[in-house]
A and B are shown apart, each in its own frame.
Chain A
């Protein structure tokens, strides 16, 4: 990627520097040690089972269906959720974890039924990937990090993990390996901060997804399902 342009910066920042007595731009500013860090105390000593419990409870507040299962029963649970959402078409991201849990096989069987379709996100074919997602009933992804406190699926969108899979279909299902659950946003932002510190490239789009889309713009009444998915389900699975 070639470097982008920066326009008007010198004058703009000089004006600011004049007002706040700033120092030269090449002299790094040291971030102070903040005197309090309440975020680090939240669910500090919780084990995975306790975090699952918190996540379960939070799902009720965010209008999200919650399921807890193990790797042997995952296909059965998924089948049940898909049936309850009257699913005929599925798009899922290109993620090795689908293989780990033998899901491509399950999808193959699903697609055999009449009028059923399954599409795996394909970066080589952007147009088809987006247009299928747009008309799909359900989008399925694995969660990269899961936040118990807020009931949030964190997705590091990247090659294979298209932004559209969790956005365009009518409903969204996240498969949540139990080990991905952490107390809160702090652990996810720490992870990204460490990536930056190490000079690693960070994902071009990091999505924190908390339940289905909603709006309270009409008389402050909560309407679930606006531009993004109308329903959402999280399936927590014991790691394989």
Chain B
């Protein structure tokens, strides 16, 4: 699955989301639960703001010295006998991973959850050379079984599906015969996937955080699938986005503590697994061979720009869980595997404005995202910077918007024109309004009024009202 998902047209994706009542209900309840859990966890800690400050300092320092820490990481991994491949593009990463699979004569590959492998379409590349790739995270497994339905949330990828839909998918594809109880569904997946873990030739994991000082990397999970993938297959490949690294173990403590609280409100998830190289001589389980693939794929273009802070992201999805726009349109409307506020910042950077110029506008700029971000990325300010670039530097706003702005410029530059225009506004809009509200606007207004009402301009202009008020000598 590439980074881009769903239909090409943004407005078509949004309407689809707005019409999907089940998905909207699921998103609403999930958002509520996740927001609460996060808020409770932050409150329990007492000094959450201080933790955020520390998180920000760590991420900033690390990204500012990324070359040094990646160098250190790769040295350590190689010392331990692991192989490190630096991939500038997704294609380079996939070609390397294909080669490892061929060398191992691998047929079956068990994979734990990883966004970067989605971003580079790694599964397709492996399937192209005849490998079977099995997603083992419960949410990803459900999506894979359902004809590769795209993920709609970076932490809970199947958030848009209800349990009845999941039951039906299991029934149709795998002959599942029990009820829609989540416990029964999960137990079924446990039994199915056990066989796969035990027979996989290669295990592939993502990476929440690499630790430079020891060549380690940490996987933050709840289900135990990442442990399976890194315990049973003889060969392990770990794929990491190049910015997912901290200097040392002291910093790992902080970013993990922030991640688990901000993502799901847990003090720690069920499993934090810190792996260092292949298994040591004499150990009975763990991989004999270890490969680390470090992926750039557009990230270095963000370095040194006003968007560098977007690389501080620890992928907790707290910003997604509070976003009012995500609440209404859902994850698929963003057209990217990275949805929500962080997706609206990152997707145009990792791809381009041609593909994602609408996303920075899919925000009310309420700033809730910035407020919850555990590493203090100024998300809504980054969205404004995107808008400025799109309009001023890239001239990518639509023709109608440019014309409207041109018209506005002329009107406000002339006192007469301005007076006439503001006087005419209530009369011109009368045919479209009912009870002083415009619900079905004409032309460009339609996109606004499709989603919400627009108040009709009032008969009395502010300047007239103010003038009369001054003449009457009204006072409080």
Interface residues of A (CB under 8 A from B): 1-9, 11-13, 15-17, 19-23, 25, 28-29, 31-32, 34-39, 41, 58, 62, 121-126, 129-130, 134, 147, 149-152, 157-159, 162-164, 167, 184-186, 188-190, 192-193, 196, 201-221, 223, 225-229
A contact residues around B231 at 8 Å (CB): 163-164, 167, 205
Contact of B10 with A by CB under 8 A: no
The answer to whether A215 touches B276 (Cβ under 8 A) is no
Point out the residue from A31, A150, A151, A218 that lies within 8 Å of B247, measured CB to CB. Answer: A31
B159, closest chain A residue (CB):
A220
The answer to whether A125 touches B284 (Cβ under 8 A) is yes
A contact residues around B227 at 8 Å (CB): 163, 167, 207, 227-228
The total of chain B residues at the interface (CB under 8 A) is: 112
The answer to whether B34 touches A220 (Cβ under 8 A) is yes
Contact of B65 with A by CB under 8 A: yes
Point out the residue from A38, A150, A162 that lies within 8 Å of B51, measured CB to CB. Answer: A38
Most-contacted residue by chain B among A15, A163, A210 (CB, 10 A):
A163
The answer to whether B190 touches A4 (Cβ under 8 A) is no
When chains A and B are docked, how far (Å) is the Cα of A2 from the Cα of B228?
A: 26
A contact residues around B78 at 8 Å (CB): 3-6
Of the candidate stretches B124-132, B262-270, B428-436, B446-454, the one touching chain A is: B262-270
Point out the residue from A13, A149, A157 that lies within 8 Å of B286, measured CB to CB. Answer: A157
Given contacts A4-B81, A20-B66, contact A37 B54 (CB under 8 A): yes
Q: Scoring B residues 72 to 99 as 1 if CB is less than 8 Å from chain A, else 0, what string do you get?
A: 0011011111111111100010001000
Point out the residue from A25, A31, A210 that lies within 8 Å of B268, measured CB to CB. Answer: A210
Point out the residue from A9, A15, A147 that lies within 8 Å of B71, measured CB to CB. Answer: A9
B contact residues around A22 at 8 Å (CB): 65-68
Q: Scoring B residues 29 to 58 as 1 if CB is less than 8 Å from chain A, else 0, what string do you get?
A: 110011000000000010100110110011
When chains A and B are docked, how far (Å) is the Cα of A181 from the Cα of B420?
A: 77
When chains A and B are docked, how far (Å) is the Cα of A35 from the Cα of B273?
A: 28
Q: Scoring B residues 243 to 279 as 1 if CB is less than 8 Å from chain A, else 0, what string do you get?
A: 0000111101110110000001011111111111111
B contact residues around A218 at 8 Å (CB): 138, 142, 158, 163, 166, 182, 185-186
A contact residues around B156 at 8 Å (CB): 216-217, 220
The answer to whether B257 touches A185 (Cβ under 8 A) is yes
A contact residues around B85 at 8 Å (CB): 7-8
Contact of B70 with A by CB under 8 A: yes
B contact residues around A17 at 8 Å (CB): 67
The answer to whether A227 touches B275 (Cβ under 8 A) is no
Of the candidate stretches B296-304, B364-372, B411-419, the one touching chain A is: B296-304
B contact residues around A163 at 8 Å (CB): 227, 230-231, 285-286
B33, closest chain A residue (CB):
A220
B contact residues around A3 at 8 Å (CB): 78-79, 81
The answer to whether B300 touches A15 (Cβ under 8 A) is yes
Name 13 interchain pairs, CB-CB below 8 A, sorted by A: A4-B83, A9-B84, A9-B86, A11-B88, A12-B88, A13-B70, A36-B53, A126-B285, A189-B250, A196-B248, A202-B276, A204-B280, A219-B29
Would you give the shortest CB distance from B94 to chain A, in whole angstroms?
14
B231, closest chain A residue (CB):
A163
When chains A and B are docked, how far (Å) is the Cα of A12 from the Cα of B30?
A: 40
Seed contacts A15-B296, A204-B280, A228-B271; 11 additional CB < 8 Å A-B pairs: A4-B290, A12-B70, A13-B67, A19-B303, A22-B66, A159-B282, A206-B216, A218-B166, A220-B33, A225-B187, A228-B270
Contact of B225 with A by CB under 8 A: yes
Point out the residue from A23, A62, A190, A212 that lies within 8 Å of B250, measured CB to CB. Answer: A190
B contact residues around A123 at 8 Å (CB): 282-284
Would you give the shortest CB distance from B198 to chain A, in whole angstroms?
7
Contact of B61 with A by CB under 8 A: yes
A contact residues around B92 at 8 Å (CB): 8
